[in-house]
Amino acid sequence: MANLSLSHSPDVNITEKQKSVMSGSLQIRVFPSTSELALSLAQVLVHESQGSNGFKLGLSGGSLVQLLSRELPKTPGLCTQDWKVALCDERLLPFTDPESTYGEYQRHLIQHGVLSESQFVKIDPSLSVEEAAADYTRKLRELFPGSDVPSFDLLILGLGPDGHTASLFPGHPLLEEKDQIVAPIKDSPKPPPERVTLTLPVINAAKTVVFVATGESKAGVLKRILQDAESDPLPAARVAPTHGKLLWLLDEPAARELTCPVEKHSVL
């Protein structure tokens, strides 16, 4: 990785998050362009999956699908044969609907031959949202036999401009969920209203969590998540893997309001 430089303002108040940045348990990498960010994300995938026997990956939807679909087909050294892929959240829609996250992976990533349909653990969109969550829970329990709380090797999360991640929304009671590993949501403020999501206990049990956030619309919320110590933290600010690593990959417009230490990366 060329042109790595640390950038921070030494005169700001030091929060717990900033201490995590300095101790290395939290890394924030900022890229000049989305394509450089995508390249780095692909390298993270190569690195994290190397040597793992049955790599278990959780993918989010939204803008991440296009980013991965553009980058992964041209990533050297990516061996995906033994991967199992689940979705961090899914909208309760037929896979043929353009808003279905699995449908989007099917139309883009699977079509490029990077992964096959049989590698995905998917919801059953023909069920009610409660039944779909129970069915998805059962499928994840099969994927992680013997684990009370599944521990994914890598989860890739997105970030909404409101601070949501997966289908965990600000102020929603699901943020307090402690027992279920998967939950149904019927009142998502972002359409469609019915979704199935991993809960915070599973997200925080992952070995590595990578957030991907791009674009100016995420700048304000990123400052709140990464720098402000709010009494009622936003969903994405509640992601702090208990024993794992947390990495934020941002482009410059998204990182515009940050004054905490970040790694500035350029691969060109």
Q: Which spans of this chain sit near ligand LXAUTJHC (rule: CB under 6 A)?
A: 60-64, 88-89, 158-160, 166-167, 190
Closest distance to ligand LXAUTJHC from the beta carbon of 72 (Å) = 17
Contact assessment for residue 156 and residue 58, using Cβ atoms and an 8 Å cutoff: yes
- In the complex with ligand LXAUTJHC, the residue whose CB is nearer, 185 or 262, is 185
Q: What gap in Å lies between CA 57 and CA 88, rounded to an integer?
A: 9
Closest distance to ligand LXAUTJHC from the beta carbon of 2 (Å) = 27
- In the complex with ligand LXAUTJHC, the residue whose CB is nearer, 160 or 184, is 160
Counting Cα atoms < 13 Å in the Cβ hemisphere of 116 gives 4
Amino acid at 201: P
Closest distance to ligand LXAUTJHC from the beta carbon of 161 (Å) = 7
Those residues whose C-beta lies under 8 Å from the C-beta of residue 54, and which sit 6 or more positions away, are 82, 83, 84
- In the complex with ligand LXAUTJHC, the residue whose CB is nearer, 52 or 121, is 121
- In the complex with ligand LXAUTJHC, the residue whose CB is nearer, 150 or 158, is 158
Closest distance to ligand LXAUTJHC from the beta carbon of 39 (Å) = 18
Q: What gap in Å lies between CA 262 and CA 146, rounded to an integer?
A: 38
* Helix (H), strand (E) at residue 67: helix 63-71
Angle, helices 34-49 vs 63-71, to 10°: value is 70
Closest distance to ligand LXAUTJHC from the beta carbon of 208 (Å) = 17
- In the complex with ligand LXAUTJHC, the residue whose CB is nearer, 21 or 249, is 249
